[in-house]
Structure formats: C-alpha cells, structure tokens
Structure 1
Amino acid sequence: MSDIEASRAPRMGLPVVTYVLSLLGSIFIVQAYRPALPITLLILAVPAAALVWMIVQGIRARRMLGAAPCGSRAYARRIVVLALVYAALLIAAIWLNRHYTLNGPVAVIVAVLPALPMLGMIVAMGRLILDEKDEYQRMLHVRQMLIATGLMLAACSIWGFLEQFEQVPHLPAYWAFIVWCAGLGFGTLYNEHRS
C-alpha cells in the first residue's frame, strides 16, 4: 500500500472524541436534569450515533489499509446490539424507579438488568482479542484496553481519595465502566498517533 492510500484512510480521532464527549455529556445531562423519557431517548441517541460512526470509520480504515476484518465486524455487531439493549434497559429501570416504589427482589432485579449488557460488552471485548487473527491488530486492541484500564484505575483512585476528603461528590461505582469506555477512546487515539 502506498503512503497516499494510507493517508486517505479515515482517521479515528474525531469520531472517538465525539463518542467519548457525547457519552459523558449525555450521562451527565440525564443524571443532573432527569428529563422526560422522550428527551432522554433523544439525548442518548447522540452517543449511540457517535458509536456507530466510530465503528463504521474503524471498519473503513481497516478495509482501506488492507487489514482483514476478522473479529472486528462481529465485535461491532455485538457492541451495537448490546449498547442498544443497555440503553433500553437503563431507560426502563430509571422510569420504573421514578414511578414506582421498588424494594426487595424486584428492586434488585431492576437495578441489575442494565448491568447485564455491560457484562456482555466486556465479554465481547474479550472475544475480539480471541477472534482477532492479525497479531498486530490484536496487539493494538490489547494496548487500547491497557490504556483504558490504567486511566480507569487512576481516575477511580484519585476520585476515591478526593471523595474520602469530601472534596468531590459521591459517584456510583458503575462510573468505573463508563470511564473505562472513555479510556478505550483515548487508547484508540494513542494507537492512531503511534501508527
């Protein structure tokens, strides 16, 4: 492949930044302002669209660079489906919690339901590494996940100490996964910068 063809391959920077910022922004808006269900759906549609854009750009880049899409296509399908299921279950859980007094086993079930697709995403990410036949692409995925893990551990540790000293508000533990997903974006940017 020539340098000119490689330079025409889609860059991931803008889609990644758009996804990370829209994800964090939408979560903040929904948590802080608790909008009505139709508005919540519109707000959550933005990071969903950004995720699809990011995945499509990644697939196009791999195709233009001549990399076989081994595990990437299946991974993209899994992640998009799981993200949609997560959004639907999260919206349903929030709605049920706002409109009904939940307690006991019902409250536990409603609270755990949105976490199940998140667990599925973690499994899908692990399958991506196992399904990837290209060793270089596998190494890029592993490095991306290591960067995400390091960022998540650093952010959670610092936030925990700040919270202990009452300098920041308490955040629910599920934010660790959200920070990790944002870290995947930074890992993608790092990989792009290094190649």
Structure 2
Amino acid sequence: MAKEFYSTTLNGVELKCKFAFPKIYFTKNPEDRDLKIYYDIGFLAEIGWQESNSATPQFSLNMINAKDITAGMSIIEGEIAFKTFHHDSLALLKKEIMKGINGGADKITFPIIEDNPFLTLEDADASLVFETHEDPERINWSQIPLFDIILTSQASNGTNNQKEIRIKTIKGVKINSTGFAESIESLELNTFSSFIAIGGQTDWEVAFSE
C-alpha cells in the first residue's frame, strides 16, 4: 500500500493540476482514442491518496454510482481540495466540459435515465436507441466518464539548487463526491472531492530542469 499527501499549508508544495479527457468521448471517432482534451484546474490546496490491492471484491450497485472492483485489482482512493474564491470550481468545470469542443460541434452526451422501476425492455423501442441530453444541471460528477489527473510540481534540487519540474499522472479517475470547506488561513472557500482511480499512476517524471 502506497500513501501520498501534498499540502500547500504543511509542506509548501505548489501543485498545478489538469484534467485530461480522451478526445473520443467528444468526437466518437476511433482515430481520436489516444488523443486528450485538457482542462486547466490551476493550483490545488491539497491532494492525498493511497493505492491498495483489494483482497476481496467491492460492489456498489445503484442507478448512478455503480462500482465493481474485482479481488486483486489495484485501485487508488483519495481526496482533492481545489482553491476557490468566488465560484464552485467543479461546477464551472462541468459546464465547460459540457460545452464540448470544435465550437460545440462535438460534445459528450448522456442518456436520459428512466427512473420508473417497472419499465422493462419490452416497453422500450426495439432499436434500443436512447434519448440523450447535454445539460450539465442534469448530471453530477459521478456520471462523468473516466479521465486522468495530471499533476505538475516545481521544486529545487537540494544539492545544487537546480529547479526541476516534475509531472505525475493518475489514470482512470472517477469523482465520487464533492463538497465545500472553509480555509482557516484565508477567506477562500475551497471545493473538495473524493475520487477513485483504476488506471494506476506514473512516477514523478522530470519534465524540465534548469
């Protein structure tokens, strides 16, 4: 089990964060499966996570937060606090994502979920073509498809004071919940979220040094 925690308050580290979504989510074009759409989040107040290998399967079945983690699967669970001053960072980001790309020509669409428990496939259209929507107010972050968290950190090398920029990627992320927390060091109101990741993580890779 590996644990990592970074905080601007405790250790002074400054982490820039980006969310990266596969371009194929927007265009539905197989040729875009290896391309990413990046959203700049800015600086984080803190982030922490732990990676574990579950000895027993984990199940959570409901309409929105269905989860199935098989025994022996490596998963990452953690929390992020986003620096926020006037708006809910995640709410604004969700609206930005739902605007789509290419001037709105390509968007992520979501099926209209029928909450009637008595509805069966026999009641649905034979073609099984579901109605979709692109309204950010009708979805929450747990419904957003998997994305990557890209962390960028700048630090000085202790031996020769050489500055290094390092990058770490947490892959296959799903946000489970969101909320708010008042900062005790300033007047800012931070947005925080818990997340789970199933794609693993990279080491801190040196991107630039001077």
Smaller-chain TM-score bracket:
under 0.3
Q: Which of the pair is proportionally richer in strand?
A: 2
| TM-score, L = length of structure 2 | 0.25
- Structure with greater contact order relative to length (CA < 8 Å, sep ≥ 6): 1
User: Rg larger in 1 or in 2?
Assistant: 2
